[in-house]
Structure 1
Amino acid sequence: MSTVTTPVSDAPTPTDRVERAFLRIAEVHRPEVWITLREKEDVLADARDVEARVAAGERLPLAGLLLAVKDNVDVAGLPTTAACPDFSYPATVTASGVARLVAQGAVVLGKTNLDQFATGLVGTRSPYGAVRCGWDPDRVSGGSSSGSAVAVALGIADIGIGTDTAGSGRVPAALHGIVGLKLTLGVIPTHGVVPACIDYDCLTVLAPDLGGAATAARIMVGAEPRDPRSRVWPADVRLAAPAAPVVAVPRIEDLADLCPEYLAAFSATVAGLEATGVETRSVDISGLLEAARLLYDGAVVAERYAAIGTFLGAGPAGADPTVAAIVAAAKTPAAHELVADQDALVRAKATAAATLAGCDALLLPTTTEHPTIAAVQADPIAINRRMGTYTNFCNLLDMAAVAVPGTPTAQGNPFGVMVVVPAFGDQVAVDLAARLAAVDAPTLVEGGAELAVFGAHLRGQALHFQLEEIGARFEGETVTTDAYRLYALDTVPPKPGLVRRGAGLGSPIVGEVFRVSHAGLGRFLAALPAPMTLTAVELSDGRSVVGFGCTHDAVDGATDITDHGGWVAYRTA
């Protein structure tokens, strides 16, 4: 196969990026990727504005990065078509997730093609043309976020914005060897998105690498008053995966829908993950796969009719016949059937929790195969349905998923996997995906409080597991000012006591800083045994953070170990 190209970073200016993008657009000649490609001069004008902002001193983490936005997501000044010409309307307000990226320096290149009304996983259901795979034009690109994925995979855009209800932001990522982030429902607002199934829609990020995807997603998250379904990270959100995680994998019988080359690639991916120190555990995911069928075979599909059924029922020109048939059938479920299926989903969530008990995440193949366009045209329903086998349940069960490349197939073609976690476990999924990608784990979830530890809670020490239990994230090593003395306390397990004596009356003490959720810090404090305390600790870099100390009377008669410089050095000695 020919490899997918991605931009080479040599610190180009925003205008350089635009020039390169338009050269690449001409080079690859994939007009079906775009529904509305902006005029080059308009994009250059936006890039110059970004350069002026940077020159004026603004810190813009996305300065000049180029966005390809799926055309069911509003961008002010551009039409939104949802890949149906008769549906088109001029957007007057930019979707909040995209607006947040633009505010941080990103520049919109244009609006991309998709499976019409985000109904499909193949990328062929569009009157604007089937979007061809970036590395093999005879194969499908995957949908419904097809255009955005191909724009990224071909090295045109730095960030692709897609949506994902059934897997639309993950399947095309898998077929192109790029990253697709589908976060917990609502943490990236869907304001400005044409609904597909409004309770299960997500805005997603496609990018060449995990770091870039996480940076964009981190900027997009946050409450949105214009989206009543938007959510924020909870007070007890986990900020890291444990150092020795346990990952669930499906039984062999649950992988029956995988084509042979994908089954071999998945086995190799699991082995590679185990080689990083991850423990894997075989689990029965049949309950999850059964729940996945409710998205199209159950009454939940009525949400698609509620979104666009009346419009498509009028027989507009340009309506894709497969999409129109799916949506028309969504009119028939009765109210009591919807109630029954909603109850089934509640039960399925409990099943999922039981299935994954004791595990930090679930590793799945993203999709089952990579069909040709001709095969999908000959069998548009069955292949599409099969490709969503492992993706359809995620939003129904309020789970998050990070799609990353796995071990390529024996033919050298891309193969993708997903790290799937319960709601708000997104950072855990990113951390585990980083292991698969052999990269440093980027920060997705910000916030929390810094906590300095100096003894038994240090990494490798007896009580460090308590930090892992609350999802604490290691931030780095540190030392105190010279105002502190350290004592060996007579406790079980052994631990030190840090006491402030005053500037110059102690010595710098080595410790570690972790970031913990606010609820996790409160839980820590509530369970803290005497004589330990949590108090402000002064660090040598001038910061003051919450840190472990002890009451002054606890060190009466205790051994002063200050001269060792830290607990680990004392224990080693």
Structure 2
Amino acid sequence: MSDQPTFIHRLSDAEVAAFEAAAPDGPLSGVTFAIKDNIDLVGVPTTAADPRRTTPAAASATAVQRLLDAGAVPVGKTNMDQYATGLVGTRSPYGACHSVFSPEHVSGGSSSGSAVAVASGDAEVALATDTAGSGRVPAAFNGLVGLKPSKGLVPTTGTVPACASLDCVTVMTRTVARAREVFTVIAGPDAADPWSRAVPQRPTPARPVIAVPVGDLDLDPPHQVAWEASVARARSQWDVVELDIAAFLDAATLLYSGPWVAERRLAFGEALTDDPEVDPAVREIVAGAPDLSATDVFAAFHRLAALDASSRQAWQVADALLLPVTPTHPTLADVVADPIGVNTRLGRFTNMTNLLDLCAVAFPGPVRGDGLPFGAQLLAPAGGDLALLDLAAAWGGEQVDEAAAEDRVELVVAGAHLAGEPLNADLVARGGVFVRAARMAPDYRMYVVDGPLPRPGVTRLPAAQAGAPSALEVEVWSLPAAALSGFQATIAPPLGLGQVDLDDGTRLLGFLCSADGVDAVRDITTYGGWRAWRASVR
């Protein structure tokens, strides 16, 4: 469980059990999901990160209800940039979230808690929203898949509007396959949503052509290195063409410089005048919306139409556009120093997506040299959702058919390779995907193994020597079988891989410690797991 302010309302064990008892058998039976707190869950207040909103929702949002009907189980409402206005994850009275890869770096927003919930293992899936990039920036900063469907394809009924004509309900997961499963459940028109629409899906091209930008993108140096590696990877998989993306970037600047900011004022402007809980940055952005005449509004629409026409030329030569999700990964301190400027820069490659009626999927790219994740994204015209998921799966080497799934190995990790821990990035880079949280059988002990990077050593003792039952917290990850030998070569003695038993009777490959690494003085079993011990010594 994350020690961050991930949730605004975490459901109690009894509340989760009630949802589990009511869940039907369905395509997502037992799958846990978190919900951004601008999306309704029946019986729970929808705050949009404003503590003055305390009225419980009378019904669940359409997307939430469709997940419930498919057998999924909610675990709570997640933290967010207030009123979904921000890409940083710090504009919340409930506290600022950080990337699970670094306590100094932002989680990204506005769907900050949704990303952290999935990345830290608190939920398998999270619902989020994406008006300007809020479903992709936090996914990128936490090593996740973030699917932003075509506008209107997933109903926004039961969602607090930020910019109603552009808002999208989105999905965050660890794998493309899971994102596809959730998407197929929640997509489809809803008569209660005036922005809802049916969007026919285009087939995945047999030989995809991917566009990449020509020229300098003004990326921070670690991002630039990862981006160049991403382009090289794209060239190795697909036919690649270079394009001038000036029209896309110019469209991105319109989102916060024209009538769409006024639309945010229409959505929740009344809170700006009498609500002391409104975040200062949110107030500055929305209260500062220009007083536009009808002529100004139409001029902005005409400008967008011209940019849209120019950008559509890309789809004459390419099936999808590959971009970084962001130009940088700022620290919390960076945001404090320049809250508006940092946020503006983060939206450079995401703000235009809904304005230009595109769908998008963000996914982990090559890990940066400093160990932070780098997020790439693919964009396509509306109706390309499933095709983009196919391309993202191919990028990550995900096998989506049952026969190919046999070529993966499930691996139990207990320490430095856990989500958010220092070596998790290496596991992800080798194609590792999170499967589930688990516990070991009760006769295992955990010891601290000293070294440049402290690690846990797990050893099984005879029942008579094991002491009180421990049931150590671990995670199960799936790794491509072809990557296993290379991964195993990175494991330094006294640790190695062997068969381990979980408390549900499952036997899987996992980390074990040889006898020469066991020091009874460094026994940390009573903490129940590596994360709990690490938290105790911080």
Normalized against structure 2, the TM-score is what?
0.73
Tell me if the contact between 2:101 and 2:372 (Cα under 8 Å) persists in the aligned partners. Answer: no
Structure 2 segments unaligned to the other structure (5+ residues): 403-538
Which amino acid counterpart does residue 264 of structure 1 have in structure 2?
V
Matching of residue 434 in structure 1 with residue 393 in structure 2: yes
- 2:130 corresponds in structure 1 to 164
In structure 1, the residue matched to 2:92 is: 126
Q: Which has the larger radius of gyration?
A: 1
- SS for the counterpart of 2:359 is strand
Mapping for residues 490-569 of structure 1, pairs under 5 Å: none
Letter in 1 for 2:250: E
3-state SS in 2 of match to 1:297: coil
Counterpart selection for 2:30 from 54, 61, 64? 64
Unaligned runs of 5+ in 1: 1-24, 444-573
Give the equivalent residue in structure 1 for 2:64: 98
Any conservation in 2 of the 1:189–1:203 contact (CA below 8 Å)? yes
Task: Summarize the Cα distance change of 1:347–1:442 in structure 2 as closer, same or farther, 3 Å threshold.
Answer: farther
The equivalent of 1:249 in structure 2 is 212
Deviation at 1:356, TM superposition (A): 3.1
The answer as to 2:270 corresponding to 1:310 is yes
Residues 122-152 of structure 1, C-alpha deviation per residue, up to 9 Å, x if partnerless?
Answer: 0000111111221211111000000000000
Q: 1:537 maps to which residue?
A: none
Q: Deviations over 1:35-82 (max 9, x none)?
A: 1111111102322333xx4xxxx4x11111111100000111000100
TM-fit CA distance, 1:326: 0.8
* Partner of residue 47, structure 1: 20
Cα distance in 2 for residues equivalent to 1:66 and 1:297: 39
Alpha-carbon distance between aligned partners in 2 of 1:230 and 1:442, rounded to the nearest angstrom: 31
Secondary structure of the residue that 2:316 maps to in structure 1? coil
Change (3 A) 1:442 1:143: farther
2:180–2:386 contact (8 Å) kept in structure 1: no
State whether structure 2 residue 48 is matched by structure 1 residue 85.
no
CA distance, structure 2, for counterparts of residue 42 and residue 309 of structure 1:
34
Question: Take 1:323 and 1:80, find their aligned partners in 2: how far apart are those partners?
Answer: 18
What's the counterpart of residue 288 of structure 1? 248
Q: Aligned residue for 2:3?
A: 29
How far residue 442 of structure 1 moved from its aligned partner, in angstroms, is: 8.0
Q: Distance in 2 between matches of 1:73 and 1:342?
A: 29
**TM-fit CA distance, 1:297:** 1.4
Which residue of structure 2 lines up, in the alignment, with residue 398 of structure 1?
A: 357
For 1:214-253, list aligned pairs within 5 A. 214-234=180-200, 237-240=201-204, 242-253=205-216
TM-superposed CA distance for 1:260, in Å, is 1.0
The answer to whether the aligner puts 1:274 opposite 2:235 as a matched pair is yes
Return the alpha-carbon distance in structure 2 between the equivalents of residues 218 and 132 of structure 1.
30
Matched letter for residue 109 of structure 2: G
Paired residues of 1:430 and 1:441 also in contact (CA < 8 A):
no
Q: TM-score, normalised by structure 1?
A: 0.69
Separation in 2 of the partners of 1:239 and 1:89?
A: 44
Aligned-residue offset at 1:331: 5.0
Contact kept? 1:305, 1:331, Cα under 8 Å: no
Cα 1:442/1:313, change in 2 over 3 Å: farther
Aligned length: 402
Structure 2 counterpart of 1:357: 316
CA contact (8 A) 2:142 2:373 kept: yes
In the alignment, residue 142 of structure 1 is paired with which amino acid?
A: G
Query: d(CA) in 2 for partners of 1:79 and 1:243?
Result: 47
CA distance in 2, matches of 1:405, 1:421: 18
Q: What is residue 75 of structure 1 aligned with on the other side? A: 41
Q: 2:166 aligns with which of 195, 200, 208?
A: 200
Amino acid at match of 1:119: T
The CA deviation string for residues 238-276 of structure 1, in whole angstroms up to 9 with x for no partner, is: 122x222110001122x12x1111111111011112212
Change (3 A) 1:212 1:99: same
Q: 1:300: Cα distance to partner?
A: 2.2
CA distance in 1, matches of 2:60, 2:379: 30
- For 1:283 and 1:136, the matched residues in 2 are separated by 34
CA distance in structure 1 between the partners assigned to 2:250 and 2:212 by the alignment: 17
Partners in 1 of 2:330 and 2:347 — Cα distance?
13
**Partner residue of 1:334?**
293
Give the conservation status (yes or no) of the 8 Å contact 1:210–1:442.
Answer: no
* Counterparts of 1:307 and 1:440, CA distance in 2: 42
Equivalent position SS for 1:311: helix
Distance 1:76 1:43 in 2: 13
Kindly provide the amino acid, as one letter, of the partner of residue 343 in structure 1.
Answer: H
> Shift of the alpha carbon at 1:233?
2.7
Question: Contact conserved, 2:150 with 2:199, CA < 8 A, in 1?
Answer: no
Q: Secondary structure at the match of 2:20?
A: helix
Instruction: Confirm whether residue 139 of structure 1 aligns to residue 100 of structure 2.
Output: no
Cα offset, 1:88, TM superposition: 3.5
Letter matched to residue 195 of structure 1: P
Sequence identity (%)? 46
Distance 1:173 1:307 in 2: 25
Once the 2 structures are TM-superposed, how far is the Cα of residue 440 of structure 1 from its aligned partner? 3.3
Please say if residues 121 and 387 of structure 1, whose CA atoms lie closer than 8 Å, have aligned partners that are also in contact: yes
Give the SS at the match of 2:8: strand
2:303 maps to 1:344: yes
Q: Deviation of residue 116 (structure 1)?
A: 0.3
Pairwise CA distance, 1:441 = 5.3
Q: Where does residue 298 of structure 1 map in the other structure?
A: 258
Moved more, 434-443 or 343-352: 434-443
Q: Does residue 184 of structure 2 align to residue 210 of structure 1?
A: no
Cα separation, 2, equivalents of 1:49 and 1:229 = 30
On the 8 A contact 2:51/2:277 being kept in 1, the answer is: yes
Give the 3 Å change call, closer, same or farther, for CA 129–150 of structure 1 in structure 2. Answer: same
The superposition leaves residues 419-472 of structure 1 with CA deviations (integer Å, 9 ceiling, x where unpaired) of 0001111122112111211113589xxxxxxxxxxxxxxxxxxxxxxxxxxxxx
What does residue range 180-191 of structure 1 map to in structure 2 within 5 Å? Answer: 180-191=146-157
Aligned CA-pair RMSD: 1.4
SS in structure 1 at match of 2:269:
helix
CA distance in 1, matches of 2:230, 2:189: 36
Q: 1:421 to 1:441 in 2, by over 3 A?
A: farther
